[in-house]
């Protein structure tokens, strides 16, 4: 089942629907306890798709594809265990929403990622049982300001600006994890093209590992890392993230118009 979220023009509310081919049907029930298909609403082009959910928290995995570990730094070693960081929920936008580059003079890049949507509370689960706690999967783009990432030595600011976390276009509840293609395109040019089979740590291992550190709750998401081929985004670009079996997440790129230069605060 492909679950979408869209703007209901009559109420102004965000509602969930079920996507079949190009048609969207109303969905009744609860996203995490079960939804059922209702009347046909229209086609994808007739509604405003939103991010498929508003995550409760965003857990991100860095350096999860070997070729990506060294593509910017040949001396960087493959980590011994998953590298984790968090991304603010305010970074999330949906399909066709603009990625607003906060500092256009900085080097800002796309990162295509498979995203896990947690469906049940998971605490210290084993890899063998971990997929029982998954609602489904979507596509994500971990937009990253490399200039700030290098300057700060950690990743919160570089990856945390508003619009730096596109998600969509749907949550696929029936997904084959074994060898799904993870692709990014900018202006139609393929930048990244790898499969989930190349992950250093697969999804069940990641869910188990993360749930041993923090409780994963319904509505949390895990961004599982990006393959090699990351590249620049500039205003005027169209960035597409495609996960085979899920769909294409497409976002235009603009320069943020409301972010004047901010000098660092003075030391006290």
pLDDT tens, 193-216?
Answer: 999 999 999 999 999 999 999 999
pLDDT greater at residue 260 or residue 152: 152
Q: Comparing C-alpha atoms, which of 134, 96, 90, 138 is closest to residue 244?
A: 138
**pLDDT higher than 80, residue 140:** yes
Average pLDDT over residues 115-141: 98
pLDDT tens, 1-36?
Answer: 999 999 999 899 999 999 999 999 999 999 999 999
pLDDT tens, 50-72?
Answer: 999 999 999 999 999 999 999 98
Q: Comparing C-alpha atoms, which of 146, 21, 158 is closest to residue 91?
A: 158
Q: Beta 83-87 vs 221-223: how paired, if at all?
A: unpaired
pLDDT at 262: 65
pLDDT at 258: 73
- What's the pTM? 0.96
Give CA–CA dist 126/205, Å, rounded. 8
Q: How confident is the model at residue 46 (pLDDT cuts 50, 70, 90)?
A: very high
Inter-residue contact 64 to 84 (CB < 8 Å): no
Inter-residue contact 114 to 191 (CB < 8 Å): no
**pLDDT higher than 80, residue 102:** yes
């Amino acid at each position: 089942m492909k679950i979408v979220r869209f703007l209901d023009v009559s109420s102004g509310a965000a509602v969930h629907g079920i996507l079949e081919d190009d048609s969207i049907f109303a969905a009744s029930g609860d996203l995490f306890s079960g939804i059922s298909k209702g009347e046909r609403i229209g086609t994808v082009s007739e509604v405003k798709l939103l991010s498929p959910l508003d995550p409760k928290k965003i857990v991100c995995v860095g350096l999860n594809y070997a070729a990506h570990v060294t593509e910017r730094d040949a001396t960087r070693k493959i980590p011994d265990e998953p590298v984790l960081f968090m991304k603010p929920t305010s970074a999330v936008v949906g399909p066709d929403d603009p990625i607003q580059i906060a500092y256009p003079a900085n080097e800002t890049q796309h990162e295509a990622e498979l995203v896990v949507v947690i469906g049940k509370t998971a605490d210290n689960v084993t890899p063998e049982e971990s997929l029982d706690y998954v609602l489904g999967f979507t596509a994500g783009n971990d937009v990253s300001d490399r200039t700030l990432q290098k300057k700060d030595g950690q990743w919160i600011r570089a990856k945390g600006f508003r619009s730096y976390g596109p998600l969509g276009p749907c949550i696929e509840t029936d997904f084959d994890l074994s060898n799904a293609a993870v692709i990014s395109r900018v202006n139609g040019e393929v930048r990244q093209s790898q499969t989930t089979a190349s992950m250093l740590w697969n999804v069940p291992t990641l869910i188990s590992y993360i749930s041993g550190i923090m409780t994963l709750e319904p509505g949390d998401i895990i961004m599982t890392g990006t393959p090699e081929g990351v590249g620049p985004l500039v205003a005027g670009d169209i960035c597409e993230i495609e996960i085979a079996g899920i769909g294409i997440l497409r976002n235009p790129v603009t320069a943020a118009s409301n972010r004047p230069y901010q000098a660092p605060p003075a030391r006290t």
